[in-house]
Structure 1
Amino acid sequence: MKSLQTRSACSGPGRSISFGLILFFILFSTSGFAQMQEQKIGIKGKVSTSDGHPAPYVSVSLGKGVGATTDQDGIYFISNVKSGNHVIKVSAIGLAAQQKAVFIPESGNLVVDFILKDDLNTLTEVNISRNRKKYKTDKPSASLRLNEPLLEVPQNIQVVSSAALADQQVISMSDGLIRNVSGAVRLEHWGDLYTNITMRGSQIQALRNGFNVVNSYWGPLTEDMSYVDHIEFVKGPAGFMVSAGDPSGLYNVVTKKPTGEQKGEFSLTTGSYGLYRGTLDLDGKLSGDGKLLYRLNLAGQNKKSFRDYEYNNRYSIAPVISYQIDKNTRLTAEYTLQHVEMTNVGSFYVFGTDGYAKKPQNFTQYAPGLAPTKIKDHSLFINLEHQLNENWKFTAAVAYFNYQQNGSSMWPSKVNADGTMIRSVSIWDAKSEMTMAQGFVNGSVVTGAVKHRILAGFDIGTKDYNADWGQSHELDTKENPFNNNDPNYGVPANGFPEFDRTTNLEARAIKAGGIQTSDYSSLYLQDELGFADNKLRLTLAGRYTYVKQSYYGTTSGKRVTPRIGLSYSIDKQTSLYGVYDQAFIPQAAGKLIGGGEVKPITGNNLEFGIKKDWGRDGNWNTTLAVFRILKNNEASATENSTPANPENFLLGQKRARGIEFDLRGEITPGLILTANYALTDSRVSKVGSDVPTSMNISKGDIIPGYAKHTSNTWLSYKLQGGALRGTGISAGFTYLKDRETDTWSESDVRLPDYFKVDGGLFWENNKLRINANVFNVFDKYLYTGSYYSYLSAFYWQAEAPRNYRVSVSYKF
């Protein structure tokens, strides 16, 4: 095996308000606001959050069905109110409910404003039109640590919502969700085992609930979407989040949490190649006072493949408990178990000497009878939030991950010119443990005319990865090799492997050289200074990082890295930004072929962009960004590198630059669009002194592992009225042009352009949704691959031919 380095609609009882009616109500309330103001008797006002921003789409109630919803500027108006004493109640998810006793005179309007602060209590009154922006997200999750709207963050952050995941029938982290983000590609698929996303010219970091969960080149295990709420893609460096991360960016998987509503959803999915899948999402209260809440997500699936003998069966259990200790303090604990049983990861690969994709799309070189690979992935999070006062909040969190794998991998030891080969199977038993903690404070203060948003905190953690890949067995013999032109799927000529597991894994890992460790600690401080009524925002930040890593030798480093950002709001819906950030990534990359110590990655990122919310209600937005990233001393694998014998060299310097455009949201009622484009150019800008001459690398050479042009769309339209109300159609495509292979290659044969079209039909009401999609509509032979000089062979991984999925979901 080669190493590659390089909320959903509220539909509880009594809240069965249709989407169309919600749209009508919002449009009516906003468009008729001026006329309503002319009424002689009424209540009007503005609802804001504690940080000074308007609170749109908040429920303002006088009881007995009398009330209003704030518009995009936080303005509300309730007309035709009877004179007398009333109590106004205001509530919204995530904000503290408030009520005020008022007296309405016989004539004239009464002005009543509200300022809502972040709430850690459960809200029992919820009436927010969340469907209105089901594809567009206005604020990042708390795990991103930024307490401000995305529009004001001086960085490109894209969020893939739970609605998008459901509509596109994404069932795992590796299942096509990157179509929703500009410039994200996967050229090395690893099946449904690991995700490994490349963006801005490098593999990006994987996070879950704000913790970096990468502990080897082959992780983490893909998350099942049953317990995922949404995924945040942070473009460029994120010193406010991770102590040591790639300047190209990261993705942060945010899991589902209790909402305080009594609701549930059950879903069944079936599809091509023996896909059978069921999920259950339960959300509610465990105590009458609403202080103790729960969320439970269950999923199970059986899934075969378009290639014979291949399967990937898995189940997941994800309970979450949340307890309101007092009005200012909440404790949340969540546990997730993922269990996987799948065929050997080598079943995804096909090798040949005469070019890519020379065999049928469903061709396999797998040996039926090999023992399956079994995985148990445990994770535990504990999160404490404490509201210190109206302006300051403290968050502390710990996480523990335990990953256990028992299996093997298959890779040829020799490929002959006539298309025959010797298939070799290596043991791949692995265990990963990660223990991490973080604490941070968010707050705001005002000094004169300057408003400060403060973020300060720490991160500490230790990671250990042990793997035995030191035992191997050749399935075929020189006299009886595997023949691509006449494959034998019976018992191999040399029989199946019998690996020795009598010794504990840790001892075997030491012998195999499969020990990887990492210890890190960091401190950071960020101040965003707001000028001119917070229209102009200057971010000044710094992070101290210490990391010690070990893998075929130990490397350590420490450094202070600065961050400077500038953001300006042209108006309430448009902002310009720029950011400069330095990179510091100590790396344990294995052995350098020229000897010596592996140096830390250093470099910087420079980015400029413009963000805009469109439409009166800001239902859709666009982001346009340009960037340049420099990385020094990045370790890169040679063509002969394997997990058991990782051969690397320090590249020198590489430069990635490009343009990104993202659009997402509801353009008109019922019409939802996600579209993006990225132009990425990643090249060698300096050749390191230890780059072997045999690699033939020169300044200006293209870096492996990305596509120069990526373009995606997903368009969905739902009828808003008539007999077919709730019926919809969706379609989208992915286009990759000028794809680069995932390794440095001597071959001049490049990967062809990639074009895939998907589409489907759906129908839904408040309770039921039926969704059907066809993937790879034009039945194209789609694949990715590379050329390995040491084997003198091409390899490729094919994607599925035309296939379908049908889902039925019921909310209760």
Structure 2
Amino acid sequence: MSHDIAGPRAATTALALLACCATAAAQALPEVRVTDSDTTTTEGTYTARTLDIGKAGLSPRETPQSVSVITRQQLDDRNLTKLEDALKSTVGVNITRLDGAGNYNSIQARGFDIGAVLLDGLPIAQGPNYATALDLSLYDRVEVLRGPAGLLQGAGEPGGAVNLVRKRALNSLRIGGGAQLGSFGLRRLEADLTGPLNAAGTLRGRVVVVEDRRDSFVDLLFSNKHAAYGTLELDIAPSTTLSVGATRQRVRSMVDQGLPAYATGQLLDVPRSTVVGTRANRQDMDTRDVFAELEHRLGNGGLVKAALRDVRRDNFYRSGRANGAVAANGDFAFETVDLRGQLKDRSADLYLATPFTLAGREHRLLLGVNRNERESGENNYAYGPGSTVNIFVPGYVGMAYPQLRLPGFTATTKRTETALYGQVQFSATERLRLLAGGRLSWAEVEVEQASDGQVTSRSKPGRQFTPNLAALFDLTPQLTAYTSYAESFVVQSQLDSARQLLPARSAKQIEVGLKGEFLNKRLQTQAALFRIDDVNRAMADPVVSTASIPGGEVRSEGLELEASGQVAPGWDVLAGYAYTRTEYLKAPATQLGLAFAPLTPRHVVNLSSRYAFRDGALRGFSVGGGISWRSSFYAQAGALRLVSGNDALANLQLGYAFNDHVELGLTVDNLFDKTYYEKVSGLARQNFYGTPRSAVLALKLRY
């Protein structure tokens, strides 16, 4: 299956050309090494010295909430290029696949959806069909904060926030790139060039280009991605820098919405290559991102920063898919649907982060204001006639796809939020720090008819304040204990019996933990206990059947442990464990006491290690591997329960560095070829097998 792309022979030729270019460049360019003082990149390290996600320039140890950083080195070592794959090995995070190609996913943490996806600290519309499709080659690292992120997002689910930190233009010439060949038709090329554009180094640029084409273990399934990113940085003055840039990413793939299940609740036992779809199935996504930043560095180490970002996305999918449970003879209902979506997302942010001295001690202050506007087109979809097909006689694959006419967008949903936020970290003693802050938000959601612009519904809960409080105490020079309280809110659209909007949902989290930095800060550890209560959840009014009441309440509580970094020269480790228990506290009798997030496993373990030989006959070689395990999880379908999980998966990494510039690596995932369901959902569709054993051979170039 070609899909108008070059075959493996072309990719192999590209590998050879890159290797030749590498040899030539090695003779022409001086050696470039990433040092510990370079805070703009996480190449060569499994730890991050500072975080971008909180805007205050704090280290992970100074941040009184659970935070994980997926560094550029971690991404490179495991050949990770998709956000969904990177987050799967992050402690406390659960990825729910919504399509076979991996372009549609939802992200959960601690049983709740992630409330905010950020690009360089600015929120963007998350949407399952946006964030996880972004190619990670454009970014230096991924930061994951778990629990309510009310200071960062205001309105949003309490699962946390994911921040993608883009690669910056550097003041020294660096040339990078690579190529990958892998199982199921993977062919990938990428190039990365950065450096000064004038003799003084006051103007710098960076360009990253990616071409990614792959098939799948599922019949017919493919995904092609083209991505390009460019940025310019200009030092207007010695302490003032203007940055502008743009990203364009286009994805074309076959859409696969998973397998149905038997009417008894039993999952299908069919070959993993089985597809439920037609040859005409497809999905297209076109994303454009433009940004500008102005940064002024103060003499005392503080920072004033203004940022603007505009994101546009158009998407279309055409899907033949299952629409009912499978009968004993293999028959099930089949439907076709076309859908077109459109999203506009604009953000503006201005903040000051600065240290200040009071009573002989240094403290930190963060003050800011931001605004976010989102517009999304609604209801532009059409269904074709249904039919009955058979899972064991897949004639539906070649069926003629009906010509469907989309009606156009019938409405536009507009979401706006304006907010003031602030935080102060007060050094009460040499070892005790107190943190207090909050966000004052004005959020509004309204729906306009496309025909005349008339507003048909409006949700405006008024002013919302989300506080953030914490205390940190240094037990030793390497170990800090902390406790924190955080909130977030979610605007609700349901009406009560008086036809008034329900009050916003409110999530409140209490967290206590320990954070450590060891071995000259090369090894970072953290342990956290948490409890989140989400109240005012809409539930059916027991008196007025057409109304709702804010009487629902759920709880999530658990434990998270994580260690990442270098335990000895050349030996990097990443280890995590998460225990998460979710429960309905106030709900209809049929739900009381049950898990409100049954797709979140109770226990998750992720272990990985990599050792690079530095001396002797094995100098240049590296070897690594890991194991991941999830306890059972389930999806409720009426009285039936679809169960999966309790599977352990192993991976292997082998590498050889020819010199400081050229490295060849091999990764093998699902080493023992375990057959399992990665996700279960319901009887009609959305049940996905996990990927069989797969290998990726990657050539990396750095100059």
Aligned to 1:376: 286
Tell me the CA shift for residue 242 of structure 1: 1.8
CA displacement, residues 645-683 of structure 1 (integer Å, 9 cap, x when unaligned): xx9997711100000000001111111110000000011
Structure 1 755/591 Cα, relative in aligned 2: closer, same or farther at 3 Å? farther
Q: 2:352 aligned with 1:455, yes or no?
A: no
Could you give the per-residue CA deviations for residues 452-497 of structure 1, whole angstroms, max 9, x where no partner exists? 20000011011011144531013x53xxx211122215542xx312
**Cα deviations across residues 210-251 of structure 1 (Å, max 9, x unaligned)?**
122125464435210110110001122223322223322111
Distance 1:301 1:362 in 2: 22
Give the counterpart of 1:151 among 56, 61, 64. 61
Pair 1:519–1:667, CA change in 2 (3 A): same
Among all aligned residue pairs of Structure 1 and Structure 2, give the percentage whose two residues are the same amino acid: 20
Q: Tell me which residue corresponds to 1:440.
A: 351
Matches of 1:794 and 1:275, distance apart in 2: 26
Question: 1:483 is matched with which residue?
Answer: 390
Deviations 1:29-85 (A, max 9, x none): xxxxxxxxxxxxxxxxxxxxxxxxxxxx77xxxxxxxxxxxxxxxxxxxxxxxxxxx
The CA distance in 2 between the partners of 1:296 and 1:769, in whole Å, is: 21
Distance, in Å, in 1 between the alignment partners of 2:313 and 2:579 is 37
Match of 2:592 among 682, 698, 712: 698
Task: Supply the AA of the counterpart residue of 1:809.
Answer: K
- Given the alignment, which residue of 410, 415, 429 partners 1:518? 415
Q: Which residue of 1 aligns with 2:443?
A: 547
What is the 5 A alignment of 1:34-49? none
Task: Choose which of 506, 523, 531 in structure 2 pairs with 1:620.
Answer: 523
In structure 2, the residue corresponding to 1:471 is in which secondary structure? Answer: strand
Q: Which runs of 5+ in 2 are unaligned?
A: 1-25, 448-455, 541-546
Give the whole-Å Cα distance in 2 for the aligned partners of 1:795 and 1:337: 29
Partner of 1:280: 191
Deviation at 1:744, TM superposition (A): 6.2
**What displacement does 1:722 show?**
1.3
Which residue in the other structure is 1:98 paired with? none
Do the aligned partners of residues 416 and 304 (structure 1) sit closer, same or farther apart at CA in structure 2, a change above 3 Å counting?
closer
Residue aligning to 1:640: none
Q: TM-score, normalised by structure 1?
A: 0.76
User: In the alignment, which of 87, 96, 101 is matched to residue 187 of structure 1?
Assistant: 96
Match status 1:758 vs 2:651: yes
Are the equivalent residues in 2 in contact too, given 1:759–1:774 (CA < 8 A)?
yes
SS at match of 1:723: helix
Q: Deviations over 1:684-740 (max 9, x none)?
A: 1112xxx5x7xx222454433311101101111111111321101111111100323
Structure 2: distance between partners of 1:225 and 1:242: 22
Show the counterpart of 1:564.
469
SS for the counterpart of 2:106 is coil
Given that 1:684 and 1:703 are in contact with CA atoms closer than 8 Å, whether structure 2 keeps it comes out as no
Residue by residue over 1:140-166, the C-alpha shift from the partner in whole angstroms, topping out at 9 and shown as x without a partner, is 12x530222221221221111000001
How many residue pairs get aligned? The number is 657
Does the aligned pair in 2 maintain the 1:620–1:663 contact within 8 Å? yes
Deviation at 1:367, TM superposition (A): 1.1
On the 8 A contact 1:391/1:445 being kept in 2, the answer is: no
| Preserved contact between residue 293 and residue 322 of structure 1 (Cα < 8 Å) | yes
**In the alignment, does 2:574 pair up with 1:677?**
no
1:138–1:151 contact (8 Å) kept in structure 2: no
Amino acid corresponding to residue 606 of structure 1 in structure 2: I
What value does the CA root-mean-square deviation take over the aligned residues? Answer: 2.7
**Partners of 1:744 and 1:556 in 2: CA distance:** 34
| Residue 650 to residue 228, structure 1, CA distance change in 2 (3 Å) | farther
CA distance in 1, matches of 2:458, 2:104: 26
Alignment match, 2:211:
300
Report the CA distance shift for 1:607/1:254 in structure 2 as closer, same or farther (over 3 A). Answer: same
The answer to whether the Cα contact below 8 Å between 1:206 and 1:214 also exists between their aligned partners in 2 is: yes
Q: Which amino acid aligns with 1:483?
A: N
Structure 2 residue 496 is matched with structure 1 residue 585: no
Provide the rounded CA distance (Å) in 2 between the counterparts of 1:649 and 1:803. 49
Give the distance between the partners of 1:490 and 1:748, measured in 2 at CA.
29
- Check conservation: 1:152, 1:569, Cα contact below 8 A: no
Q: Paired residue for 1:797?
A: 688
Write the deviation string for residues 373-414 of structure 1: whole angstroms up to 9, x where unpaired.
211100111111012432432111011000011222444344
Which aligned pairs between 1:152-167 and structure 2 lie closer than 5 A? 152-167=62-77
User: Counterpart amino acid of 2:425?
Assistant: E
Report the Cα distance in structure 2 between the residues aligned to 1:681 and 1:299, rounded to whole angstroms. Answer: 40
Matches of residues 628-647 of structure 1 in structure 2 within 5 Å? 628-634=531-537
Residue 307 (structure 2) aligns with: 397
Gaps of 5+ in 1: 1-10, 20-56, 59-91, 96-127, 638-646
8 A Cα contact 1:728 1:763, kept in partner: yes
Q: Is the 8 A contact 2:113 2:158 kept in 1?
A: no
Letter in 2 for 1:182: V
* Aligned pair partner of 2:87 in 173, 178, 186: 178
Secondary structure of the 2:76 match is: helix
- Is 2:631 the partner of 1:724? no
**CA drift at 1:566:** 0.4
Q: Distance in 2 between matches of 1:653 and 1:443?
A: 39
User: Which of 394, 397, 401 is residue 496 of structure 1 equivalent to?
Assistant: 401
Please say if residues 97 and 104 of structure 2, whose CA atoms lie closer than 8 Å, have aligned partners that are also in contact: no
After superposition, what is the alpha-carbon deviation per residue over 1:322-349, rounded to whole angstroms, capped at 9, x for unaligned? 1100011101112111101011242x44
Q: How does 1:195-274 map to 2 (within 5 A)?
A: 195-204=105-114, 205-214=116-125, 216=127, 218-220=129-131, 222-274=133-185
Alignment partner of 1:328 out of 235, 239, 260: 239
Amino acid corresponding to residue 518 of structure 2 in structure 1: W
For residues 219 and 634 of structure 1, what CA distance do their matches in structure 2 show?
A: 27
Structure 1 residues 361 and 545 mapped into 2: Cα distance closer, same or farther (>3 Å)? same
Contact preservation (8 Å) 1:268, 1:277:
yes
> 1:243 is matched by which residue type in structure 2?
G
Match of 1:15 in 2: 31
Q: Relative to structure 1, is the Cα distance of residues 416 and 779 closer, same or farther in structure 2, using a 3 angstrom cutoff?
A: closer
One-letter code of the match for 1:620?
A: L
Contact 2:514–2:526 (CA<8 Å) still a contact in 1?
A: yes
Secondary structure of the 1:187 match is: strand
Give the conservation status (yes or no) of the 8 Å contact 1:543–1:560. Answer: yes
Residues 93 and 777 of structure 1, relative CA distance in 2, 3 Å threshold:
closer
Instruction: Indicate the larger mover: 178-187 or 373-382.
Output: 178-187
2:267 is matched with 356
Superposed displacement of residue 273, structure 1 = 0.9
Q: Does 1:781 align with 2:685?
A: no
For the structure 1 residues 656 and 396, does the alpha-carbon distance in structure 2 shift closer, same or farther, using more than 3 Å as the test?
same
Q: 1:667 aligns with which of 554, 567, 571?
A: 567
Contact 2:468-2:485 at 8 Å conserved across structures: yes
